[in-house]
Amino acid sequence: MSQVGVFPGWREMNRRTQRAPVNPLDKSTIVSIFPFEIVEHKPTLQPGKWTIPAGSFEKPSYTSIGPSSWWKEVDAEQPLLELPVSSILVADSIVKDYCNGLVECNMADCMPGLFMMPGEWDDKKLRSEAMHLLIAAKNKQTKYYAALVRLADAAWAKTNGNPLSVNETMKAAAAELGHSDREWLETYHAVDMTRCFACGTMKNPKYPVCPSCRAIDPEFKGEIRFA
């Protein structure tokens, strides 16, 4: 039974998440020299989705970030309470949440070339007023790339050349550092993999020893050497 003087549906209208006017001066900028597009989702915020275009040291990408909001429930009778989040906190969270999940990233001197700046920035302004930040980002990314190449070398050797052990970021890192001699830079297809005769695990036919069961392929024609 509805309350006297209250029209049907008032509770639903009372729970709507409608933002208050946003401060147009509350802006921050995410600068990226990372050669991959980044899509970050934060479902508890509105707006809660951002796309950071790929960039490079020569041509960084600049993404303007505004404030967001989230809502807190007071009680069943009160409207949802809007809690604004400044653009600085939003931009900083986007960068940290993405980078924290990356292998070999230490969030200090070994990480992708991705950082945020309070205010609105473009290439001309950044290079004239804060070029040292762009150089620092490049140095951090170079160290991050070197760590990825070492990890790819170890994974390639440990899995006897399984192409699934090396991802696209590792390949981009090797190309950026000029390591064109890496065998794992080649493009592989599923048909290149064969099944081990002993356990059935997919393996690279160029390597005679199965990375799973350590059985030696009796049909391997090359010379086998053990350390």
Q: Which domain holds residue 166?
A: 144-203
Regarding whether 78 and 20 lie in a shared domain, the answer is yes
Regarding whether 165 and 72 lie in a shared domain, the answer is no
Regarding whether 111 and 22 lie in a shared domain, the answer is yes
Mean pLDDT for 28-56 is 95
Domain end among 98, 116, 142: 142
Domain end among 142, 166, 186: 142
Q: How far is CA 212 from CA 127, 132, 201, 202, in A?
A: 51, 48, 7, 9
pTM over 0.85: no
Question: pLDDT per residue over 14-24, tens digit each?
Answer: 566 777 888 99
Q: What is the pLDDT of residue 38?
A: 96
The answer to whether position 149 is within a domain reads yes
Regarding whether 164 and 65 lie in a shared domain, the answer is no
Q: How far apart are CA 182 and CA 65, in angstroms?
A: 39
Regarding whether 153 and 135 lie in a shared domain, the answer is no
- Residue 14 host element (H or E): helix 10-14
The answer to whether position 172 is within a domain reads yes
What's the number of domains the chain is made of? 2
Is the pLDDT confidence value at 40 over 50?
Answer: yes
DSSP secondary structure string for all residues of 114-132: EEEEES---HHHHHHH-HH
Question: pLDDT per residue over 128-169, tens digit each?
Answer: 999 999 999 999 999 999 999 999 999 998 888 888 889 999
The answer to whether position 2 is within a domain reads no
Q: How far is CA 180 from CA 3, 172, 177, 183, 184, in A?
A: 75, 11, 9, 8, 10
Regarding whether 133 and 33 lie in a shared domain, the answer is yes
Regarding whether 80 and 65 lie in a shared domain, the answer is yes
Six-digit token string for 12: 């639903």
Question: pLDDT per residue over 66-106, tens digit each?
Answer: 999 998 887 777 778 889 999 999 999 999 999 998 999 99
Regarding whether 187 and 153 lie in a shared domain, the answer is yes
